Amino acid sequence: MGLQFKEEELFACCESTKFAKEMAKASPFSSLDEAVTAAREIWFNQVDVNAWLQAFSAHPQIGHSSSSSNATSAQWSKGEQATAFATATNSSLQELSEWNAKYRQKFGFVFLICASGKSTDGILTELKKRYPNRPIAEFEIAAQEQMKITELRLAKLFSTKENVTSTCNKNPTLAKKVEVLGFAHHSIRIKSRVGVIGAHLSAASDASSVKKSQAPPRTRPPITTHVLDVSRGSPGAGIEVCLEMWKGPQPRPMFGESDAGGWVFQGSSTTDNDGRSGQLMSIVDAVNPGIYRINFNTESHRNGNIFMFPAAVTFLIHNVPWKLGLCVVQLKNELSSKDSFVDVN
């Protein structure tokens, strides 16, 4: 029998109503690993862009105290920024505040980073490094940082829940008191597992080391796409999308008329209201390695009086099991029909 979590408990881990609701539905969890696997699937594949933005908005600006109405989340946020506060100087806080303001003005949301164990200077360096990013690239990075924070907090939640459950099983009278006190007033010591998770998050991630047996069963095709219209600040809905694979006589396409007949149709769909494509291929555990192309009929997507030419993005998938080729297209006025070649490694 696993641990059952309430929606408000999970909301403290990631302040997205949709995320917390889906996680509560997925519980009970038999282990922390199972909860983290479910969290990743829900965060990256089930919730929409609005859910991401809701979670982002709940975070305080780095260097500031949390104003979250969720007491547990505010307490965890304070602990996560402890190193930053301890290493801050008046000048570094001032510079960080100025860069935070520049970041928010450019991207429209707070600079998000898993700050646990990071100094003020380290955070400031990362902020400056990420500032030149394109909005769509930074949006993805922020979502990944949010998941790091969520995983760290899930470890804390699990440790707390396990300790409370163990204590209450031994003392039924105490169980009633704990139920009255509620989750927000916990004072249970966090076990070493949190330290292990924190060390893992601070290390560089190596996706190639993840074993296939650890991956969850696929619920979506391995190649998908998500279109965002950054000029409007909204998803690119109603765009016809077509997936093709290169089968021509040459090792790779030449991006010209000589390519005619070399591309083989794999599937097509139309983006939904969230800008996500439907099923472009079968749900399989591994993608056949090769060169793929996604064609976007952006003529069907009007931005006022601005005309957008059809666009295509070509990418290479290596012979790697459980490969997810996620192709994100950013609609801009200058988007043209010229092919680009992206190595999805």
Q: What's the domain count of the chain?
A: 2
**Residue-level pLDDT at 66:** 58
Domain assignment present for 213:
no
The domain in which residue 319 lies consists of 223-344
Positions annotated as catalytic residues are 59
pLDDT at 342: 40
Query: Which of 178, 205, 232 lies at the terminal end of a domain, its last residue?
Result: 205
Backbone angles phi, psi at 79, to 5 degrees: -65, -40
Give the model confidence (pLDDT) of 109-127 as tens digits.
999 998 888 888 889 999 9
* Residues 169 and 45 grouped into a single domain: yes
Is there a domain that residue 211 lies in?
no
Name the least confident of 187-196, 233-242, 262-271, 313-322: 187-196
Residue 66 lies in a domain: yes
pTM (predicted TM-score):
0.51
Whole-Å CA distances, 106 to 92, 138, 157, 175: 21, 11, 34, 49
CB atoms within 10 A of CB 205: 11
Q: Using one digit for the tens of pLDDT, what is the confidence trace for 287-296?
A: 778 888 888 8
Average pLDDT score, the chain: 74
Q: Do 284 and 175 share a domain, yes or no?
A: no
Give the pLDDT of residue 159.
84
Residue 12: CB partners within 8 Å, gap ≥ 6? Answer: 70, 72, 73, 76, 153, 157, 183
Over 50: is that where the pLDDT of 197 sits?
Answer: no
Instruction: Identify which of 174, 210, 158, 138 has the alpha carbon closest to the alpha carbon of residue 32.
Output: 158
> What average pLDDT does the segment 146-166 reach?
82
Query: Is 60 a domain residue?
Result: yes
With a pLDDT cut of 90, the percent of the chain lying above it is 29
C-alpha to C-alpha distance for 28 and 24, rounded to whole angstroms? 8
Residues 265 and 130 in one domain: no
Q: Which of 81-90, 111-120, 144-153, 201-210 has the lowest mean pLDDT?
A: 201-210
Q: Could you report the per-residue pLDDT of 305-332, keeping only the tens digit for each? A: 555 556 777 766 655 444 344 444 444 4
- Which burial class, exposed, middle or buried, applies to 207 when counting CB atoms under 10 A from its CB (0-12, 13-18, 19+)? exposed
Mean pLDDT of 21-34: 93
The share of the chain scoring above pLDDT 70, in percent, equals: 65
| Banded pLDDT at 39 (limits 50, 70, 90) | very high
pLDDT at 257 over 90: no
Structure-block tokens of residue 120:
């003020």
Please check whether residue 246 is in contact with residue 219, taking contact to mean a CB–CB distance below 8 angstroms.
no
What's the CATH code of the domain at 277? 2.60.40.180
pLDDT at 204: 40
